[in-house]
Amino acid sequence: MYIDVHCHLDMLKNIDEIIKNAKKKNVNVIVSAGVDIETNRKTLELSEKFQEVRACLGIYPDEALKMSDKEIDSEIEFINKNKEKVWGIGEVGMDFSGNDKDNEKQERVFEKFIELSKKLDKPIVVHSRKAEEECIEVLEKLKAKKVVMHYFSGRLKLVERIVNNGWMLSIPTAVKNSEHFQKVVEIVPIENLLCETDSPYSHPDKKFPNEPANVVESYKMIAKIKGLGLNEVEEKIEKNFERLVK
Ligand SMILES: [Zn+2]
């Protein structure tokens, strides 16, 4: 069984068709992430409608900047209330790309979500664009354990630090054409790897939209780089995924 550990199903059209395509390819678990109040509710609905879908709820860093602290706290309360239906916390993190962002507020919100994931003992899926080291520092400070660094584009030194912390890196389907991610696969032990599509983004052949069925491309690349059989990669990554929710 293949697993897509990070995508945004709510952003895709014809979701019935998308799920069918995934199942045909043996992609039987799809973790879909909300990014704000509206998509968190949509994601919950999808997880109730399709048994393949797991809900990951959070507030994307740029969205958090548009919200008041009160609104953020009430969304955290919403997630807490729905904890039985939630697989993990995400997409959350920090994003220092672009100008004039309130980095302090980003950190404050990120800390709240890390605390939530610890309290619920659920994985946290982290977005860290241009804030890679800063995200790692905050996660280390708060002693987060069930961490998935999604689409991690930081330096290889930082990749090593993630591995030393015992966290996971999810390899996007873009690995097919990305030397950076191919290098990441090379240096990270398979025990620390998961796979994601980040659908609708990040299509393996740079098309749009991407979909969970394509996650197989990440698995194939890992098999090729590590010199393992596809079945072996499939089994190991399924074990990694299970370890996260233990
Ligand atoms: Zn995403």
User: Could you tell me the CATH number of the domain that includes residue 169?
Assistant: 3.20.20.140
Q: Measured in angstroms, how far is the CA atom of residue 201 from the centroid of ligand 1?
A: 8
pLDDT, residue 15, reads: 97
Q: Measured in angstroms, how far is the CA atom of residue 33 from the centroid of ligand 1?
A: 7
Cβ-count burial 57-88 (b if 16+ within 10 Å, e if not): bbbbbbbbbebeeeebeebbeebeeeeeebbb
pLDDT, residue 118, reads: 98
pLDDT, residue 103, reads: 93
pLDDT, residue 245, reads: 87
How many folded domains does the chain comprise? 1
pLDDT, residue 85, reads: 97
Q: Measured in angstroms, how far is the CA atom of residue 138 from the centroid of ligand 1?
A: 20
Q: Which domain holds residue 203?
A: 2-244
Contacts of residue 11, Cβ cutoff 8 Å, sequence gap at least 6: 39, 199, 200, 209
CA 207 to mean position of chain CA atoms: 20
Q: Measured in angstroms, how far is the CA atom of residue 61 from the centroid of ligand 1?
A: 11
CB atoms under 10 Å from CB of 19, counted, come to 23
Rg (CA), the chain: 17
Q: Measured in angstroms, how far is the CA atom of residue 125 from the centroid of ligand 1?
A: 9
Q: Measured in angstroms, how far is the CA atom of residue 62 from the centroid of ligand 1?
A: 12
Total count of residues recorded for the chain: 246
Q: Measured in angstroms, how far is the CA atom of residue 88 from the centroid of ligand 1?
A: 14
The residue ranges of the chain whose pLDDT is under 70 are none
Q: Measured in angstroms, how far is the CA atom of residue 70 from the centroid of ligand 1?
A: 24
Q: Measured in angstroms, how far is the CA atom of residue 127 from the centroid of ligand 1?
A: 7
Q: In what order do the strands lie in the sheet with 124-127?
A: 2-7, 27-33, 53-57, 86-93, 124-127, 147-150, 168-172, 193-196
What residues does the ion ligand 1 have nearby, CB within 5 Å? 91, 198
pLDDT, residue 131, reads: 97
Q: Measured in angstroms, how far is the CA atom of residue 72 from the centroid of ligand 1?
A: 19
Q: Measured in angstroms, how far is the CA atom of residue 212 from the centroid of ligand 1?
A: 12
Q: Measured in angstroms, how far is the CA atom of residue 210 from the centroid of ligand 1?
A: 12
